[in-house]
Amino acid sequence: MSIVQRACPAEGAQLDALTMHCDHARLIDNLGLEQRSWWTPSRRHFRQKITVASQMRDLTEARAEFDWLRAGSTVGQQGALRDLDRAFTNFFARCSGYPTFKKRSGARQGFVVRDLAVRRINRKGGEILVPKAGRVRFRISRARTDICAATSARIALTNGRWTVSLTTPPVPRRQASTTPVVGIDRGVANSIATSDGRMFHAPGFSAGEQGRFVALQRRLSRQQKGSANRDRTKAKLARLRLRLRLADRRGDWIEQTTTHIANTYAAAVENLPIWYLTRRAKPKPDLDNPGVFPPNGGRAKSGLNRAILASCWGKFAQRLAQKMSVVAVPAVYTSQECSNCGHICPENRESQAVFRCQGCGFEHHADTNAAINVRDRAFEIEHQPGGILGDRVCQSRKRAASTVSVA
C-alpha cells in the first residue's frame, strides 16, 4: 500500500538534485532494458544470463568510471533496476505487457528512496531526507501513524507536480461476517449499480472543463510537433486531463466508494474481460471491391470504449478486492436474465434503464436487475459453509418482488 503526499521542493540546487535523480533513474532503466533485450536464446551461449544481480555489478563498475553517474544516488539507480526486474517478472507471469523505454518527455518520472527518514515540522507539513538533495518538505495528507509505518518512498514528477508516495504494509482485507451480501453491476450510464437499488457515478469533466479540453485538443492538432507552443499546450492539457485534475477526482471517488462498500456489505462482482470489451472495431473489407472498407461502426465503438474506461471498472474492482474478500461471478447473460423467474431473452432489456421480462412481466431497473443476478450467482458459487459469504449463503434463492401485476 502507498500513501501519496504533495511534495514542495525548493528552487535551485535542491530542485536540480531531484531532477538529476529522475534523469539517472530513467537512464538506468532504459540501459537495463536494452541490455536484457539483447539476451536471446541465440546469444545465451556467449555470455552469462543477465539478472538484476549482474546488472547491479555493472552499475557499480559504471559508477566507478563515470563521475556524473557517481554524483547521483546509488539507492535511486539500484531502485530503477529493481523496478525493471519486477516489470519483467510481471510480464512473464502474464500480469502486464513487455517493459517499454521511458521518454524524457514522459508524463511521469521518479526515483526510489529506501533509507526513509521522515519528520513532522508542523500540523500540515513534514520533511523527508533525500540523498544529495537534503530535507524536502511535503504536505501531510494522511494520519501520522501511516507515515510512521512507511518503509520506503518514491518521489515522482507528474506533469509539473512533485509527489512523494510512502510505502506502508498492506491493510488486512475485511472478511464478511454478518453484513448483508450485495451484487455489483458495472455499466456506462451508471458506473456502479448495487442489488439494493443504489447507483454510483464516476466523476468527469464539468461543462466548462469539457469545452476547455476540446479547445486545447484542437489547438494541439494545429501546432507543429517539437515547438515550444505545442509543449505548453500539452502541459495545460495534461494538468486538466486524466493525470491531475480528473485523475484526482476519479481516484478519490474510487477510494470513498470502495471503502463504503467494504465497510457495509459483502460484495459480489462480475468477472468482466475489460481488455476484450474495449477492443477497437475490426475493419470489414468489401469482397467485391478489394482495398475498400465499408463503415464498421468504429466511431461508435470508440465512444463506447472511452465511456467504459471513464467508468473505472478495472480500478474499482482492483481496489475493492484489496480491501475485502470479493466473489467474482460469470457475467454472461446477467443483463438479459430475469431476476424473478430466470427467463433469459435479449428482448427482456428494452433500453439501458428499462427491464421487462417477456416471460413473467417482471419490471425493474435494468442495472439493478443485473446486480441482483450477480448476487444470486454468488449464492450459488459460495454455497458451502465457511466460504467467503459464510453460512448465510445456505439459503434459498431470494427473488425480487414484481412491480407489476401479471394476469
Place of cell 451480501: 181
**Distance between CA atoms of 257 and 270, rounded to whole angstroms?**
17
Q: Helix (H, G, I), strand (E, B), or coil: what is residue 150? A: coil
In angstroms, the CA 22 to CA 68 distance is: 14
Known catalytic residue at 367: yes
Taking alpha carbons only, the member of 327, 329, 357 closest to residue 345 is: 357
Q: What grid cell was written down for 150? A: 512507511
Is the separation of the CB atoms in 209 and 199 below 8 Å? no
DSSP state of 377: H
| CA-wise closest residue to 184 among 60, 68, 316, 351 | 316
| Burial environment of residue 184 by CB neighbours within 10 A (0 to 12, 13 to 18, 19 or more) | buried
Distance CA 237, CA 353 (A): 34
CB 150 within 8 A of CB 266: no
Order across the sheet with 2-7: list the strands: 108-113, 152-158, 161-167, 2-7, 134-139, 125-130, 118-120
- CB atoms near residue 403 (< 10 Å): 12
Angle between helices 207-222 and 228-240 (to 10 degrees): 160
Instruction: Supply the DSSP string of 21-42, one letter for each residue.
Output: HHHHHHHHHHHHHHHHHT--TT
- Provide the phi-psi class of 333: left if phi over 0, else alpha when psi is between -120 and 50, else beta: left
Write down the catalytic residue from 85, 185, 337, 382. 185
Is 347 designated active site? no
Alpha carbon distance 160, 163 (integer Å): 10
**Cell 477526482 sits on residue:** 249
Residue 45, C-alpha cell as written in the block:
551461449
Answer yes or no: are the C-beta atoms of 388 and 327 closer than 8 Å. yes
Catalytic residue among 29, 270, 337, 382: 270
Among residues 29, 85, 367, 376, the one annotated as catalytic is 367
Q: Residues with catalytic annotation?
A: 185, 270, 367
